[in-house]
Structure 1
Amino acid sequence: MRRLAASLATAVLAAVGAVAVVGQPAAAHGAEVFPGSRQYLCWEDAQTATGQLDPANPACADALAESGPNAYYNWFGNLDSNGAGRTEGYIPDGTICSGGDRGPYDFSAFNAPRTDWPTTHLTAGATYEFQHNNWAEHPGRFDVYVTKEGFDPTEPLGWADLELVGSVTDPPDTGGPGGDNYYYWDVTLPADRTGRHVVFTHWVRSDSTENFYSCSDVVFDGGDGEVTGIGDDAGTAEPPAACPDEAPGAPGDVTAHDVRATQAHVMWGVSQSGCVTGYDVLDAATGDVLAATDGSPMVDLTGLDPGSTYEVTVRSRNDHTGAVSDPTAPASFTTTTTTTTADNAAAAGACTATRTGASACS
């Protein structure tokens, strides 16, 4: 068996933020990191010293232009809350890599049939340790598909192109949720594959209907896990210098989702200008900081009071200078009065209160 380590870069840890909560559907993020999925490797390729996105790979650059930065900063959020394990007949051909475009973020550009996506080089018939980031831990099944021999990567990916080559239920992981930990299991790849192919990984949660989707571009050329098409290999220049004196641009509109009795998933638009190293979620009335992230445009607020109305805004930060942007317009949400299992699970997690009545798990 070829055991290949796929480590998430330090930049990923910074960008996904300091806040995560166990036990909430909204936080159940993850994506294939070996072989690297399109959204993950494009995110890696796009990193710069300023925190802005500048992919060198042409497919990644086009995906950024088409789908926008949220799919990058939320590379682990390619999901359908109502997927329920459904495949052919539910997810249309040509939209398999994005799971049918039913998620909270726009991953549609990652369906593009082209031959210049970041690529992992593999050997047909070999056994590899597949790795899937576990930004949140949940029980479930991973189904791995590989395109059939004769697949044309310049044509849209359809279900008739795919062959299920392995499934695993509740595989082990390298550690708790968040950061660079991942689920891992062995997959023996078909021995008859040659040339360029796509590996499709479908994470089917067993504790909810939420599903996750990853397309990984591979070439069967006798390789041993090498990745080409990102970073220096894609022709990128040296990373630009940090922008310590540039004012942070304002974030986009803030919204609240998956509001429950004691928690809410808050998201906002990524700042499109200036030097932004992170974001603060504020109590609109007092200006108190309820939660902070190191680049992620979302956070899960926990420890809220049932049946209560909250009003929040978001501002961008430049931690080099301490400068902050003007806050967004406020968003209001009201928690429900009924406590769910997910509320109880979040309450049992490791949380640090930032103000009375609201906290964020880290």
Structure 2
Amino acid sequence: MLKPVRIKFLISGLVAALAATFAVLAVHTGPAAAHGNVVGPASRNYGCFERWGSKFQDPAMQTEDPMCWQAWQANPNAMWNWNGLYREGVAGQHETAIPDGQLCSGGHAESGRYNAMDVAGDWKATSIGNSFTVSLFDGARHGADYIRVYVTRAGYNPVTTPLKWSDLQLIKTVPNTPAAQWTQQLSNGVQIDIPASVSGRSGRAMVYTIWQASHSDQSYYFCSDVNFGGTTQPSPSTSTPGSPSPSTPTSPSPSASVSTPPVNGSCAATHTVTSQWQGGYQGEVKVTAGSAAIKSWTVTLTYPGTPPIQQAWSATLTTNGNSAQATNASYNGSLAAGGNATFGFLASGSPVAPTLTCSAT
């Protein structure tokens, strides 16, 4: 029999552990309904949320995605609140308001919530060509007074060097654009796809985006790690998960999360629920090319009723009746035989498995 003092110690330790667990879980209340972020090429904090939001307690993050790991440990809210990185009252004086080395956190915005975004290191990089598209999601339909897209100059290495203003070269400016003119009109926001290009670039770099929202003097700042002409780094979500443990969230039931459509000659698509909270969930669709290479793809998601999708990324989405049609983005349409691409979305309500059909050219 354990002595009373030992029992007291075990109970107090258990209470402390449970309290810590609930404190972390309490952070995940679902993505906020307002503001926005660069979803392609994904910003640092949005990329971390996209890869790990459904398994934020998986210890594999520490070795497979160490930059997300350090950011998640510093402040989990930087990932759950991936669309809140902004400052007010800058009055266009971005270089004055934000010191060198703090560009990715918006000058330690939101009381330092996003400070870990400034840490130099081997962040997961999106592979892009010299012509690429920046996709900006606006959940509150603010629209833009302007949007500025920068690329770091040749020779800058985001793995070793925090970002400075002198590292940046402005390559694209989008003038005043009301939300009604953004390219995708979704039930929970809008998205604008901005074509951009550079010449003769290869290797690691960073795309830096400033979005000046129209509703007030509110400025958003996004760092997206890219690899010009390189190979896309594998996402942790495609790796084999380790043995489940009490600290690892359980996967949704197959009946609610996955549908396997019939395979046609050009491509096939599967649907997975990657995260769920009260009143909503995050889904992912994987598109796989058939026995021949394809140049583009379209996936139709057919639901029992009105499609619940509120926001999508890495695809252009349109709805009609009880179906939603997703067309590849500029950077993920071309697939080799047997190759695959994914797009994600946020939806309201409980998970629903749509019927999927895939066509390709």
TM-score normalised per structure 2: 0.54
Distance 2:166 2:172 in 1: 17
Q: Which amino acid aligns with 1:221?
A: G
Please give the per-residue CA displacement for 1:303-322, whole angstroms capped at 9, x wherever unaligned: xxxxxxxxxxxxxxxxxxxx
Query: What is the aligned length?
Result: 221
Contact 1:42 1:230 in 2 (8 A): no
Deviation for aligned residue 1:185: 2.2
Please give the per-residue CA displacement for 1:94-137, whole angstroms capped at 9, x wherever unaligned: 000111012266011011111x212111122x2x2321111111
2:65 paired with 1:65? no
Q: In terms of mean alpha carbon deviation, does 80-89 or 57-66 score higher?
A: 80-89
SS of structure 2 residue aligned to 1:142: strand
Contact 1:53 1:69 in 2 (8 A): no
Distance 1:132 1:235 in 2: 31
Q: Which amino acid aligns with 1:46?
A: W
Q: Which amino acid aligns with 2:136?
A: H
**CA 294–165 in structure 1, closer or farther in 2 if over 3 Å, else same:** same
**CA 234–89 in structure 1, closer or farther in 2 if over 3 Å, else same:** farther
Q: Which amino acid aligns with 1:143?
A: R
Distance 1:18 1:100 in 2: 23
Deviation for aligned residue 1:73: 0.8
Distance 1:120 1:136 in 2: 26
2:147 paired with 1:142? yes
Counterpart of 2:202 (choices 183, 188, 194) is 194
2:41 paired with 1:32? no
**CA 74–53 in structure 1, closer or farther in 2 if over 3 Å, else same:** farther
Q: Which amino acid aligns with 2:94?
A: T
Larger RCO of the pair (alpha carbons < 8 Å, separation 6+)? 1
Q: Which amino acid aligns with 2:124?
A: P
Distance 1:150 1:216 in 2: 17
Flag as ranges the 4+ runs of structure 1 deviating above 6 A: none
Q: Which residue of 2 aligns with 1:160?
A: 166
SS of structure 2 residue aligned to 1:191: coil
Deviation for aligned residue 1:235: 7.2
Distance 2:83 2:183 in 1: 16
Q: Which amino acid aligns with 1:175?
A: Q
Instruction: Give matches, 1:179-328, under 5 Å.
Output: 181-188=190-197, 190-221=198-229, 227-232=232-237, 237=242, 240=248, 242=250, 278=277
Distance 2:147 2:50 in 1: 23
Q: In terms of mean alpha carbon deviation, does 165-174 or 137-146 score higher?
A: 165-174
Contact 2:149 2:172 in 1 (8 A): yes
Contact 1:16 1:74 in 2 (8 A): no
SS of structure 2 residue aligned to 1:164: strand
SS of structure 1 residue aligned to 2:95: coil
Distance 1:293 1:38 in 2: 26
Distance 2:215 2:30 in 1: 25
Bigger share in helix: 2
SS of structure 1 residue aligned to 2:174: strand
- Structure 1: where are the runs of 5+ without partners? 1-14, 21-26, 245-275, 279-291, 297-362
CA RMSD of aligned residues (A): 3.1
Matched-pair identity in %: 32
**CA 19–194 in structure 1, closer or farther in 2 if over 3 Å, else same:** closer
2:47 paired with 1:41? yes
TM-score normalised per structure 1: 0.54
Distance 1:233 1:159 in 2: 35
Contact 2:143 2:214 in 1 (8 A): yes
Bigger share in strand: 2
Please give the per-residue CA displacement for 1:280-311, whole angstroms capped at 9, x wherever unaligned: xxxxxxxxxxxx76599xxxxxxxxxxxxxxx
Distance 1:201 1:46 in 2: 23
Instruction: Give matches, 1:90-169, under 5 Å.
Output: 90-103=97-110, 106-114=113-121, 116-124=122-130, 126=131, 128-140=132-144, 141-153=146-158, 154-169=160-175
Deviation for aligned residue 1:222: 5.3
Deviation for aligned residue 1:217: 0.3
2:87 paired with 1:80? yes
Distance 1:84 1:237 in 2: 49
Deviation for aligned residue 1:192: 2.7
SS of structure 1 residue aligned to 2:173: strand
- Structure 2: where are the runs of 5+ without partners? 1-27, 253-274, 283-361
Q: Which amino acid aligns with 1:37?
A: S
Deviation for aligned residue 1:161: 0.2
Distance 1:53 1:105 in 2: 25
Contact 1:16 1:294 in 2 (8 A): no
Contact 1:98 1:107 in 2 (8 A): yes
Deviation for aligned residue 1:194: 2.0
